Amino acid sequence: MSAHHTFIIAEIGCNHNGDPALAKKMVKEAKACGVDAVKFQTFNSSELISKFAPKADYQKITTGAEGNQLEMTRKLELSHNDFIQLRDYAKSLNLETFSTPFDLESIEFLEKEGQNIWKIPSGEITNLPYLDRIAQIKCKNKQMILSTGMATIEEVKTAVNLLTRFGSREELIILHCNTEYPTPDEDVNLSAIDTLHEEFPDIRIGFSDHSVGYVAAIGAVMKDIVLIEKHFTLDKNMAGPDHKASATPQEMKALVDNVRRIEIIKGEGGKKVTESERKNITIARKSIVARKAIKKGEVLSEDNITCKRPGNGISPMHWFDVLGTQAIRNFEEDELISMSEQVMSNEIDPHILISEKKKKLAGLVNTIQARIDEKKYILQDDDPEKICLIGHSQFDKWSIEHLGTRVVKNAGINGISTRQYINMILKPGLLDLSQKEYVLILGTNDIIYPLADHEICDDINTIINTIQHAQPDAHIILVEILPVRGRLDRDNSKIERVNRVIRQHLPKGVELITNEAFQDQRGDIKVEYVVDGLHLSTQGYELLKSLIERKMK
């Protein structure tokens, strides 16, 4: 039962009406619905119910008022041999199968048959001898599932403590449940799932759904449950106590399909740009453009620049950086203003600019450290078969799980410079270097610092040398610093100079991916490969992926 896959049980229970042939047909139909398991009920009616026990109100409605609960239940029993045959049939369909025992004799039978999943029904939650017997069962991969219908939180705590006294709390799943068939909407109380999470933070939570339809089950999935149980019938109009509150094959199939969909829709959390919407950034966002024709030498102001679509130029987030700069060429109306063609106006006090830049860089260090802390478990991944990505935001923002046949270990950190990567990650030993293959994309954030070309190259080579010292036979791929488009903070002529030095001093055994495939005729990164003048678009990442995979061993 994984964290991202909700385990769905079709509760056949006693809806087979004591007919093994009907039960077999229900197993087959449940498999077609896509459930993970089917569950039966094993009981000796005389051990379960006294002759004085009356029927529940819902049982009177569904089976008639005449007779008592014992007489009704005797008609719903399956023999032990019937269950064994049904279990084996379900296994042949690759369907998990188990049964809820309702008495000690049934526990003995199922234990001898090697059952490892033990479902405790709501009615037994206060039956301490029963709970104690379940707790004492020793079997491989033991799982206990506790339904909590009709129970208070204190009764649940008592049952949990008894069930887990011989084993781990990891063996237990607690199901929120209401034991009314069907459960009225106002009594479903999905918020009780939150209570169970709070009271039992170290125990997995599930939902036994007796309501009509699948809406409650969908809502429960949004509350981080691991299991859903739903009664199953072939026909709601059959005679028997539970058919009316059960899902038909069509309803069960809809439940499974919608649970699987909501698992995807739920997502992983965090707010980021998804791959599906990335292509729309340039279409929906705006860039800084010429409001009217601008002549070379004019100071850019609100009078001659504005913001319009498309968004493949200077982002309006740089509006106040652009204001006050001089145009060093003519721009026609609506033409994108290019950062790389602008110089700062002499009217702007350079001391103010330096002060603001220092404040921004100080805040960036804190942001980088926070990101390192967030990714510490990824950084420490010691799987040698993975391919390790080392670098800045181009990798950190890349939602990629595989390169070629290798699983990706993404050690990219947004905003980090090469020297910061050395001092904040490599020197403290935060990055495990067990991998045999590495891809490096470094240097673009070094451009904004007052570093000489050879200093940037030396820092990149320091990272390469550190990898080679830890893994002498490591296969290392280095991606050249990619060009930018319309950025005030980075200059393509500087980038090209640094890349030239990198090529001249490339350590032995390192394979280089040049940036030629990304460039247009002017040396800028091509429009289709970038979203904000710096970070790659979906097409840009597709190109980078293909270039890397060509170099991989």
Q: Please compute the mean of the pLDDT values over residues 472-483 and round it to a whole number.
A: 96
pLDDT at res. 58: 52
The reply to whether 517 falls in a domain is: yes
Q: Which amino acid is at 245?
A: A
The Cα 215–Cα 219 span in angstroms is 6
pLDDT at res. 2: 52
Question: Whole-model pTM above 0.85?
Answer: no
Check pLDDT > 70 for residue 419: yes
Same-domain pairing of 166 and 305: no
Q: Report whether the peptide linkage leading into residue 182 is cis, meaning its omega lies within 30 degrees of zero.
A: yes
pLDDT at res. 344: 34
Which of 511, 510, 519, 512 lies closest to 540, judged by CA? 519
CA distances, 466 to each of 242, 276, 502 (Å): 67, 37, 17
Question: Which of 235, 264, 293 is the C-terminal boundary of a domain?
Answer: 264
Residue 298 lies in domain: 277-336
Task: Please check whether residue 401 is in contact with residue 355, taking contact to mean a CB–CB distance below 8 angstroms.
Answer: no
pLDDT at res. 239: 79
Same-domain pairing of 138 and 196: yes
How many Cα neighbours within 13 Å face the side chain of 338? 16
Task: Please check whether residue 266 is in contact with residue 4, taking contact to mean a CB–CB distance below 8 angstroms.
Answer: no
The reply to whether 229 falls in a domain is: yes
Instruction: Report residue 440: phi and psi, to 5°.
Output: -115, 135
How would residue 34 be classed by pLDDT, with cut points 50, 70 and 90? Answer: very high
Task: Please check whether residue 373 is in contact with residue 361, taking contact to mean a CB–CB distance below 8 angstroms.
Answer: no
Q: Which amino acid is at 141?
A: N
Quick one: what percent of the chain has pLDDT higher than 70? 90
Same-domain pairing of 448 and 542: yes
pLDDT at res. 69: 62
The Cα 90–Cα 93 span in angstroms is 5
- Sheet with 475-479, edge to edge strand ranges: 402-403, 406-412, 387-391, 437-441, 475-479, 510-513
pLDDT at res. 286: 94
CA distances, 359 to each of 261, 366, 418, 498 (Å): 45, 11, 20, 26
Quick one: what percent of the chain has pLDDT higher than 90? 72
The reply to whether 457 falls in a domain is: yes
Same-domain pairing of 438 and 324: no
Same-domain pairing of 330 and 394: no
Which of 389, 399, 382 lies closest to 548, judged by CA? 389
Check pLDDT > 70 for residue 354: no
Residue in the block written with tokens 């026609």: 332
Q: Write the CATH number for 414.
A: 3.40.50.1110
Check pLDDT > 80 for residue 165: yes
Same-domain pairing of 326 and 422: no
Q: What is the mean pLDDT of the chain?
A: 90
- Least-confidence region, from 282-296, 353-367, 441-455, 522-536: 353-367
Q: Please compute the mean of the pLDDT values over residues 101-118 and round it to a whole number.
A: 97
Task: Please check whether residue 340 is in contact with residue 524, taking contact to mean a CB–CB distance below 8 angstroms.
Answer: yes
Q: Which amino acid is at 270?
A: G
Task: Please check whether residue 229 is in contact with residue 207, taking contact to mean a CB–CB distance below 8 angstroms.
Answer: yes
Same-domain pairing of 287 and 385: no
How would residue 100 be classed by pLDDT, with cut points 50, 70 and 90? Answer: very high
Q: Which amino acid is at 404?
A: G
Q: Write the CATH number for 136.
A: 3.20.20.70
Q: Please compute the mean of the pLDDT values over residues 7-15 and round it to a whole number.
A: 95
The reply to whether 69 falls in a domain is: no
Q: Report whether the peptide linkage leading into residue 316 is cis, meaning its omega lies within 30 degrees of zero.
A: no
Same-domain pairing of 165 and 313: no
Q: Which amino acid is at 493?
A: S
Same-domain pairing of 259 and 297: no
How many Cα neighbours within 13 Å face the side chain of 2? 4
pLDDT at res. 313: 85
The reply to whether 49 falls in a domain is: no
Q: Report whether the peptide linkage leading into residue 201 is cis, meaning its omega lies within 30 degrees of zero.
A: no
Same-domain pairing of 228 and 304: no
Residue in the block written with tokens 């990706």: 408
Structural domain count, the chain: 3
CA distances, 125 to each of 119, 146, 244, 386, 499 (Å): 11, 8, 25, 47, 70
Beta-carbon count within 10 A of 531 CB = 24
Strand 326-327 to strand 342-343: parallel, antiparallel, or no bridges (unpaired)?
Answer: antiparallel
Beta-carbon count within 10 A of 411 CB = 25
pLDDT at res. 356: 42
Same-domain pairing of 285 and 258: no
Tokens of 47: 């051990």
Strand 342-343 to strand 287-290: parallel, antiparallel, or no bridges (unpaired)?
Answer: unpaired
Residues 6+ apart with CB under 8 A from 228: 6, 7, 8, 9, 206, 207, 208, 209, 217, 220, 221, 255, 259
Residues 6+ apart with CB under 8 A from 184: 211
